[in-house]
Amino acid sequence: MALVGQPNAGKSTLFNAIVGYRAVAANFPGTTVEALRGQASIDGERAEVVDLPGTYSLLGGDVAERVTRDFLLAGEADAIVQVVDSSLLGRSLELTLELAELGIPAVLCLNMMDEAEHKGIAIDREALSSLLGIPVVAAIASRGQGVVELLAALPQARPVRRPPYTPDVERALARIVEAITRNPDFQGPSPIHRAAQLLAGADAVLDAEMAQAVEEARAALARGRGEDPGVILADERHAQAMRLFEAVARVGQPHIGWRERLDDVLMHPFLGYPFLLLALLGLFAAVFVVGDALEGLLSPLLDAVSGQISAALGTGPLAAVLLGAWDGLAAGVALVLPYLIPFLFLLAFLEDVGYMPRVGYLLDGLMHRIGLHGKSVIPFLLGYGCTVPAVLATRILDDERDRLVTAALAVMVPCAGRTIVIMGLVGRYVGPVVAFLLYLGNVLVIALAGWALTKVLPGVGPGLILEIPPYRWPRGRNLVGKTWLRLRGFVMLALPLLAVSSAFLALAEALGWARGFNAAVRFLTWPMGLPAEAGVPLVLGILRKELSLVMLDGALPGGVETLSWAQMIVFTVFVLFYVPCLATVGALGRELGWRRTGIVILGTTGLGLVLALLARAALRA
Amino acid sequence: MSFDFPVSLASLPPGGAGRLVAIHGGRGQALRLRRLGLRPGALVRIVAAGGWGGPVLVEVDGCRVAVGRGLARHILVEPLNPPGVTRGHGTR
């Protein structure tokens, strides 16, 4: 069973309600960019549930939309659930009509019924069900309402009844269908869908006969109407959708409340910016205050356990290794979790409220100065959480060049791992103001890099088209679920990695290997004015960025507090920019290709080194 | 209701409303805009216009769409005159 629908209709929220919290859901269009799979029990049987990226149509406008189209055309789905934002039913029915051409059994899920009521829209479900010939279920996925009813309705899924187009369009389609069915190579769920795609000029022909049929049909239609056949089809579906909508929905008085008024301030051409700055400052301050307090509580506790273990084990290489593993784990818990949890929670809050697309809107003008537009802001903002989803999120961009530039720049946005280094080292020992300045400096460097990249890769991408969803008050459960989902990656992957690396480092030190390695990379650490012990941690930081801080703490005899302020800042600057972590390199390779990934790695490392040296020079002065 | 001569969407002031007449420019972009309700004949209202050459925020069919300034220049609308006001020429 596959969940299909327009962006931000709540497919991922519904997916989570069906299979447990597995997919990141948020209040902005384009949260899901790849097909996610889960298992659920439907009608007493195990069934696979697939959450697909949101799509306005099956034409495949951007990479995320192509993922959905290709999945549906591959014929993997036995049934489709079209998830609809009920407050936008009229527009959503256009996609329903496109799905009708596929002929796959479907159920319509009227999600966000509360939003529809808020807008004063009442929908006659039975009338809609009999007009489309498929079950129609009402739901509020964010509260888990309607999920049971939806699963119960699945066995009744039927292909959507396809209303005919006007006779001239039907004639054109019939002409192409005839040519398609005669081709032995034709595969796919339905010739009528392929014919419509071909008529719209959105698909490739298989043979000369088809090419001729398509050419003739397009020419005949364009001659009769004086318009592009793609536009004609879109307009006809729109008209049909509107007729359906008028037959089943009554529109009353909408409520005007805080949500409608809030944008008057938050998206105001002048007032919007101070509020944006305030929101980011608030986020930063909250993470720092909560993180600092939590760390203060945890640190003495973990230190005490460390002392106990050390006393019990005595000395010797094995004891050193075991103690090293524990220290890595403890440092991970004490340094990392306190900052990570509040940060991920607040990021989830901003996402679910719906502030992200507003930031995109506010920064569109500025983004144009660096050769991008406001939609690129979403990958950047996600980058503050983790760079991997940020790189994947570039799929929502329509233009290839924009994707490349955005991915290359998003890699430099400090992710949660680097936030740990900034907060745990500079924030804690040098002061929060300096830490905040590092964030500002980072934004400035990214802007300059973007400006420079635009000089190398000129070309104006298409302008911004971004739906701005209404504000929604997030549900606590969903925020906790999302925070946990993202935190899990850290707990499952980073904590063991910290323990193993730390044990390895202890062993290397006991055997005297670390010194040799540190000497080998002295050509890097020396010009930056860092102690030789920083060599191994910096290289291990390629695995995960926060690892470099935790390792450094273990490698220095007196811990990181023995570094001078200047050394702390130089170290952090270098960690901020040099080689993105391994997971990011993997994601970049998949999205951009390995050659471009190589260039990004070399470029960011070179930039990191130059900036670290500049920082050193500036701090000495 | 009366409509004035067509002007670009970018030149409508915040709070101004109009009827969309035509979308010039790339076919892909035009189809995308249509999907969001921005099609000839649609009634649109400008909610806000961003600073620094930023996008215009348009309300159409009860939902809000941000459209880049450059793109908005390629969208023609007939401004809707407030009741009782008639003008003999376009706003420019």
The position carrying tokens 């992200």 is A356
The CA distances from residue A361 to A240, A305, A313, in Å, are 32, 50, 59
The minimum CA-CA distance between A92 and chain B, rounded to whole Å, is: 9
Cα A228 to Cα A213: distance, rounded to the nearest angstrom: 17
The position carrying tokens 């400096």 is A441
pLDDT in tens, A289-313: 888 888 888 888 888 888 888 888 8
Q: Which amino acid is at B17?
A: A
CA of B74: which chain A residue's CA is closest?
A: A463
**Cβ neighbours of B47 in A, within 8 Å:** 263, 267
Contact B31 A360 (CB under 8 A): no
pLDDT of residue B92: 38
For the segment A367-386, the average pLDDT, to the nearest whole number, is 86
Interface contact A274, partner B, CB < 8 A = no
Which domains can be identified in chain A, with CATH numbers? Answer: 2-159 (3.40.50.300), 167-249 (1.10.287.1770), 272-460+478-620 (no CATH)
CB within 8 Å of chain B, chain A residues 515-574:
none
Percent of chain A whose predicted confidence (pLDDT) is above 90: 46
Task: From A366, A360, A404, select the one nearest A380 (Cα to Cα).
Answer: A360
- The helix/strand/coil state of A328 is helix
Contact B36 A467 (CB under 8 A): yes
| φ and ψ at residue A480, rounded to 5 degrees | -65, -45
pLDDT category at B89 given cuts 50, 70, 90 is very low
Contact B68 A267 (CB under 8 A): no
In a domain, B16, yes or no: yes
In a domain, B14, yes or no: yes
Contact B62 A56 (CB under 8 A): no
Interface contact B30, partner A, CB < 8 A = yes
In a domain, B91, yes or no: no
Task: From A396, A369, A372, select the one nearest A382 (Cα to Cα).
Answer: A396
The minimum CA-CA distance between B92 and chain A, rounded to whole Å, is: 23
Interface contact A118, partner B, CB < 8 A = no
Looking at residue A155, the DSSP 8-state letter turns out to be G
pLDDT in tens, A175-223: 999 888 888 777 766 889 989 988 988 777 778 888 888 999 999 988 8
Report the residue of B64, B65, B73 to disrupt the A interface, i.e. the one with the largest count of A CBs within 10 Å. B64
The minimum CA-CA distance between B5 and chain A, rounded to whole Å, is: 23
pLDDT of residue B82: 64
Interface contact A230, partner B, CB < 8 A = yes
Interface contact A374, partner B, CB < 8 A = yes
Cα A427 to Cα A430: distance, rounded to the nearest angstrom: 6
pLDDT in tens, B17-61: 999 999 887 777 888 888 888 999 999 999 888 777 789 999 998
- Taking 80 as the threshold, does the pLDDT of residue A329 lie above it? yes
Cβ–Cβ < 8 Å for A20, A38: yes
Cα A616 to Cα A565: distance, rounded to the nearest angstrom: 10
ipTM over 0.90: no
Q: Read off the CATH number of the domain in which B73 is found.
A: 2.30.30.90
Task: From B79, A255, A406, select the one nearest B89 (Cα to Cα).
Answer: B79
Estimate the share of chain B in helix, then strand, then coil, as percent rounded to the nearest 5.
15, 40, 45
Q: CB B22: neighbour CB atoms within 10 A? A: 12
Cα A381 to Cα A356: distance, rounded to the nearest angstrom: 8
The minimum CA-CA distance between B79 and chain A, rounded to whole Å, is: 21
Contact B48 A61 (CB under 8 A): no
- The helix/strand/coil state of A139 is coil
- Taking 60 as the threshold, does the pLDDT of residue B87 lie above it? no
In a domain, B87, yes or no: no
Contact A56 B29 (CB under 8 A): no
Contact B31 A263 (CB under 8 A): no
Contact A235 B57 (CB under 8 A): no
In a domain, B89, yes or no: no
Domain that holds residue B28: 2-81
- Residues shown for chain B: 92
- Taking 60 as the threshold, does the pLDDT of residue A500 lie above it? yes
**Cβ neighbours of B55 in A, within 8 Å:** 361, 364-365, 374, 463-464, 466
Tally the domains of chain B. 1
